[in-house]
Each structure stands twice: as structure tokens, then as C-alpha cells.
Structure 1
Amino acid sequence: MKKLSLKYILLFRSFSFSNWFILAILVIGVLAPFLANDKPIISIQNHNISFPFFSNEKYLENTAAFEVWPLIPYHSQSLDFKNMNSVGPFEEQVVPSLYYRHWLGTDELGRDLLAGLIHGCHTAIWVGFGAMAIALIIGVFLGGIAGYFGDSTYRIHKAKWISCLAFLLLTALFIPNLIPWNWAEIPFIEKATQTILFTMLFLFLSAVLYFILNRFQAYKKSISIPVDLIISRCIEIMETIPLLFLIIALSAIFSPSYWSLIGIIGISSWTSIAKFMRAEVLKIRQKDYVESGFALGLSNIQIMKNHVLPNALNPIYINLSFGIAAAILIEATLSFLGLGMGVEQVSWGSILASSRADYTSWWLAVYPGVLLFLTLYSLNQIGDKLSK
């Protein structure tokens, strides 16, 4: 028991400012709807317990016998018409009590800044971790197979290779031309249906081509695929395109939403993870225990799953801290430029953008700017410590 207590004491003392700050941002981000909301969490009326917090209907105040309200009685989109036109935190405010005071001020529309910052933590966490989760999956997969198979290990029949290449070419050449210009206005179900139908059609055509070619003896021979070369060239092509311009171009195609922004940043940020993964797998591929796995007749999937991946992922986790910081910064930049999420979603970047309308409203620039700086600084500090 004493050893366990000592372990937790040492863990507590080893936490620096950066660790505690990121932990606080995580807690605030997860609990944001409970901390800042214009509806009570619990309401008791006529001996019935309800949770207006989970309802989309407008809540009528002072109608319940007992209510439990959040710490901040404002949502990020709540409008206070009595405190519009950017009321400062130290200025006189028209509020019924101190509980309803805007402690960090309001913006031009009367929205509470503290509620916006709290919900901005929620946005930053989900965008940062969500985008890097997508980038991690893509980067680990492509970097892993590039380092494991190299340029001569993976062999495939000519007929299968030509069929796969035909499918990729059909998808790359025809689907962009079949997408209408008003793609962002098309309902999601229609988008998914169109994409699935065209993909199924191209798969069918590729399968027909495979069965035709497989009848000829010349196309039954195996050839080696330069997997490493192909993926390395794809990484180089992605890195030659400025990341911000690529994300802006993709944002113009897809409708501005919470999940589309996460997907766009994730799809655009996998190259650094793929390079790290490729380098680690190339190094591990030469180890004796991997060669022993081949000698024992283990399959490629078994070797990758049980021997290569567990040893290759540790350095990748270090890179995630920097990647999350980059994703948060990209989201803030896009929101500042008006290219991020919709108007119903608040972020630190959108709050910073609102300060451009009135340069005297210093609180709209200082508080989100300091919060963004400390978050990026803390994540980079954690990454530096993990890399040592």
C-alpha cells in the first residue's frame, strides 16, 4: 500500500505546468456542455425529474420547483440583448445578479466570452485528437507496408495488378468529374449513394477485366510491386503541396461542418507519421526476431501484428503531441479566416476573428490568444519531454 501511494506521489510531482494545463483543457473540453449552458442540468417540477440540458426545446425559466444550473448560465450561442456591442469584463453590465455576470465580457452580439472559450476547448480537443486519430490510421498503415514490403517483397499476379490499377485510375479520373459543383448542398444520403454506386460499378468493371486477363498465361505470372517507392512518391507529392492551401481547397468542396473539418485535417496530416513509421519498420525488419518469424513460417500479418507494430508505434506516439498541436492551430487558422466550421460552432479562432470588427474590444483577442498559445506551448513541451 505504501509503495502504491509513493508511486502516485511521484507521479503527481513529476507533472509539470504543461501536463496540468493540458489535463485541465481536456477536462473542461469534455465537460463543456455541463459547465456553460443556458439550460439547467436537472429540473424538478410536479414531482417529475427532467433533464432540460439534453432537450433541444426552449426552456422556460422560473417554472420548476428545483433546478441545478451549470457554472456559467450561458451557452456559446446565447444572446444577451442587454449587453450587446462588446461589453468589457470590467465595464458596467445589465445583469440581474452576479451569477449572470459576463466575467470575461461579451462580443458584438452579446455572447458570453467565457462560455465561448469553454466550448472552444471542446472544439479544440475533438478536432485535435480526432484529426490525429485519422492521420495515425492512414500514416501507420501506409508507412508500415512501405517499410515492411519494400520494393521487391510484395508479389502479385499481373492480371490482379492491372485490375487494381484500372480500378484506381477509374476512381481517380471519373469520380472527380462526376461530382457536381453543388456537392456541398447535396444531402448526405445522396452523396453516400452516389459514391457507393460508382465505386461498385468500377469494382465490377475491374473484376471483369481480371477474369478476362486471367485466361491468358502471360498474365498469370507474378511480378514484384515497388510498394515502398510508390508510397514514398505519394508522400513527396503530398509534402510539395502547402498544407494550408490543400485544406482550404478541400474545405471549399465539402460543406463546413464539425466532422468534415476533422476529416480534412486528418487526411492532410498523415505524411509525417508515415515517414516515421516507415523508418521504424525498416529498422525492425532487420532484427533477428523478425527473421526467426519468417523461418517459423509465420504469415506477414502475424509478424506485423505481434512483432513489428508493438515496437514501431512507441516513437510514433511522441509525434502525436506535435500533430495535435498542429491540428488545433490549423483549425484556429481556418476559423479565423472564416473557412472553418459553421456559425453554430464556436472555436478560439472564430472568437479571435470577431475581434477584428472592433479593435477596442481587447478581451476578444487577448483571452483566446493566450489560451491558444498556452495550449500549443504545453503540447510542444510534452512532445519534447517524450522525445528525450
Structure 2
Amino acid sequence: MKNLWHIAHALWQTAPAFRLALLYLVLLAAVALALPWLPLAYGPNELDLEQIYQAPFGWETETDKSRHWLGTDGLGRDVLSNILYGARTAFTISLPVMALASLIGLTLGAMAGLYGNRRLYLSRALLAALLIGLLTFAYYGIYLPTLLFSQGADYADFLLTGIAAVLFSLLLVLALTPLFKRLPYLKKKSPFPTDELLLRLIEVQTSIPRLVLILVLAAIVPPTLLALSVLLVLTFWTGTARLARAEMLRIRELPFFEAATSLGYTQKRLLVRHALPHLLRPVLVAFSFGLAGLLMLESTLSFLNIGVSTDLVSWGRMIAGIRTNTAAWWLVAIPGAVLSLTVLALQTFSYYVLRTLQNKK
């Protein structure tokens, strides 16, 4: 982290484009956090039916009413307020989703690169218990909640069923493992093909286009912010996992890592103390690149009204308003410009950090 701070400080002094991108992102994040205290005249979903499709910077509004500085949409909703609240929605979805997806990808990729196919030994009893627990979770955590939702069950019942399935599967694994260990065959340990399993899992998931997978999952999952976040996490971890695996394979061949291995350090210490500091820098760069992709995908889903609730304030939903009135150019130009600037700022930030890291190698 100290090295990243030094890199950012050096880029701030030498790269004007990096400075502008960072200033824009910090300003946008500060505005999104300070929204409850900003003196906005209109709320994001507040209707003003007397001022529908009002163009930006309209000065003909009555003096006793607050102006819509950036215009309104087909229901009279203020564009400025929706732009600001749309930024909060974008970061509320993209930041936690990308953080969780990066954590999952970093963990699985680093383990696959470190252990390979012959270095991690697990008891056959644990593997058998995990298989039964996985099948149990697939039934009670996926099939049964989907069946309940199709029959009109509440979202609370849907969520509680999923949580109960996770707890029941874990308890089942913990209970069955010591029982299986009593059997002579299951008591032995076998190499667990960590790398091969991860690669096959990534191949299966990436063989299905991300948007198609989201469409299928969104058809059986209620359109909420939590459901959308879970769907995005399940589709965004693969890129980080592949990067972490490749970096781990490279680090494993470095002299300092081979020296630490020859000294007899445990695999846990090798991973946490020696490999993780070198893995964090490229993963953080991938995090910012993935953040830009998530912003675009979230806006696309909101534009298509897929997997998101209709009352969610989003830049994509604002752009979708052009379909009812093609003359309302500001419904595309203003949120589209803000979205493009945000993605460009994230890409610029990532580019300069990545270039600096490559020059240091």
C-alpha cells in the first residue's frame, strides 16, 4: 500500500491527465456521499407534471418555483437530481460488487497458482461431505427459492430460504466429515486438483456470454438491488481469478519465493507474507478497470430494465427516457456525458498506474 501511495504521488506531480481523472473521481464520490446535505430543490423521483420535457437552462419557469437547471424527463423528474443520485447508485452497486468479486477472484486464483494440482491434500471424507453439501445447497438454496418465487412467495421468504440453505449445508459438511473419516477408504488424503478445477470452472462460466447469463438469472430472481449485486459478483470474479493465478505462477518461480520455500515455510505463510504483497498491485489495477466495466454494465441493465427495480435511480434509466421523445436530447447527452467521463477517468487512472508498475519491473 505504501508503494501505491508513492506511485500515486509521483503520478500526481508528473501526469496532468492522471491528476484530472483523480480530481474528477474524488469530486464525484464526495458529491455522492454528501447528497443528503446538498440543497437540492427536487428529489430524484419527485414529479413535476407541469414541466415535462423541459430543456436544460430554461429561464421561462415561474419565479415562485425552483428551476430545473438541467431539464426534466417525461414525468417532470429533475435531471440534475437524478444525475447526482444516479452517481450514488452506480458507486453503491459497483464498489461493493467489484470488491467482493476481486476478493473471490484473488483468493481462488492465488490458491490455484500456489497449490497447482498436486500440492493441496484433502481427506476423502471432507471431499465427500463437500459434495453432499454442494448438492444440498443446489436444491435448498437455488431450486427451492426459485420455485417459491414462481408461486408468488415474498422476497423475504426467498432470502430466508437461501440463508437457511447455506447454514444447513455447512452444518451438514461439519457433521458428515467426522463420520466419513471412520471409513478406511475415506480416511486417506488425496491431492485436490485446485488449478484444474478453477480453470474448468472459469471456462464453463466464460463460455456463456455475461449478458445472457444475467438475463437467465434475472428471469428467476426478483429485481432488487441485492439480487443485481449477487448476479454481478457471480459474473465478474473470473477475470481477477485468471490474473491472480498467472501472477502467482510467476511469483512462484522468483528466487526469493524459492528461498522461502526451501526454508520450510508453511504454504499459508508463503501465500500471505510473501505472495500477497506482490499480487495486490496488479489486482488493484484490475479492480479499477473492472469498476469501469461494471458502471457500463449497470447502466446497460438499467436502460434495458433487466434485473433492476423500476424505481432505481440510474443513469441508464435516464437515457432510456429518450425512447418516448427523441427530441429530448438532454436525456441522452447529459447522463451519457457523465457516464463517459466517469469511465474515462477510471480508465485513465488505471492506465497510468499500470504503466508505472510495468516500468518498475
Contact 2:11 2:352 in 1 (8 A): no
What pairs up with 1:1-388 in 2 under 5 angstroms?
Answer: 11=12, 14-16=15-17, 17-35=20-38, 70=39, 72-84=40-52, 86-91=53-58, 93-97=60-64, 100-173=66-139, 175-183=141-149, 186-187=153-154, 189-207=156-174, 209-388=176-355
AA in 1 matched with 2:35: A
- TM-score by structure 1 length? 0.81
What secondary structure, in the 3-state scheme, does the structure 1 residue paired with 2:223 have? coil
What secondary structure, in the 3-state scheme, does the structure 1 residue paired with 2:327 have? coil
Q: Which residues of structure 2 form unaligned runs of 5+? A: 1-7, 356-361
Per-residue CA shift, 1:197-242, capped at 9, x if unaligned? 4444444554555444322322222211110000111011111111
Q: 2:5 maps to which residue?
A: none
CA RMSD of aligned residues (A): 2.5
AA in 1 matched with 2:108: L
Contact 1:250 1:264 in 2 (8 A): yes
Structure 1 residues 8 and 376, CA, compared in 2 at 3 Å: closer, same or farther? closer
The structure whose Rg is larger is 1
What secondary structure, in the 3-state scheme, does the structure 1 residue paired with 2:190 have? strand
Identity %: 30
Structure 1 residues 338 and 312, CA, compared in 2 at 3 Å: closer, same or farther? same
Structure 1 residues 284 and 12, CA, compared in 2 at 3 Å: closer, same or farther? closer
- TM-score by structure 2 length? 0.87
Q: Distance in 1 between matches of 2:293 and 2:340?
A: 12
Contact 1:355 1:364 in 2 (8 A): yes
Contact 2:58 2:67 in 1 (8 A): no
Q: Which residues of structure 1 form unaligned runs of 5+? A: 1-6, 36-69
Per-residue CA shift, 1:229-260, capped at 9, x if unaligned? 00111011111111111122222333222333
State the 1:158 CA deviation: 1.8
Corresponding pairs, count: 345
Per-residue CA shift, 1:21-68, capped at 9, x if unaligned? 223322222223333xxxxxxxxxxxxxxxxxxxxxxxxxxxxxxxxx
Q: Distance in 2 between matches of 1:20 and 1:208?
A: 54
Contact 1:130 1:266 in 2 (8 A): no
Greater relative contact order (Cα < 8 A, sep 6+): 2
